[in-house]
Amino acid sequence: MSDFAPGGMTRDAFEALVLRAIDEIPDAFRDALDTVAIVVEDDCPPGSRRAYGLYHGVPRTAFGGSWHAAPPARISIYMRPLVSDFPDPGDLVHQVRVTVLHEVGHHLGMDEDQLADLGYG
């Protein structure tokens, strides 16, 4: 992992933006965070499409009964594409928030159309 993102932003500063976005998640959805890890990664996996974030897991709406053992859910937020595409600090803060909420929405079972309707598409 690197300490700096494009534009000279430190990883700590970027992680602080992600934490700020997590803190702004409405209380009604805060319980969803108990079953998902949100991690910052430098970049998208090699060979994958360029993305700002990715939800890895089974949406909460797809959980079955106690017999269903889903692997732990994880949200990856990709630092380099976000910092590179949003050099303006205000735009970056906004897009990090949108990305976190978008991926939490997937964890809650929302599809791309629902997320777009909410402004998180």
Q: Domain limits of the chain?
A: 6-117
Under the banding of pLDDT at 50, 70 and 90, the label for residue 1 is very low
Q: How far lies 90's CA from each of 35, 93, 114, in Å?
A: 30, 5, 25
Q: Express the helix, strand and coil content of the chain in percent, nearest 5 each.
A: 50, 15, 35
Mean per-residue pLDDT, 94-109 = 93
% of the chain residues with pLDDT over 70: 85
Considering the segment(s) 6-117 as one domain, its CATH architecture is: 2-Layer Sandwich (3.30)
Q: Are 35 and 59 in contact (CB under 8 A)?
A: no
Question: pLDDT by residue (tens digit) across 15-39?
Answer: 999 999 999 988 878 888 888 999 9
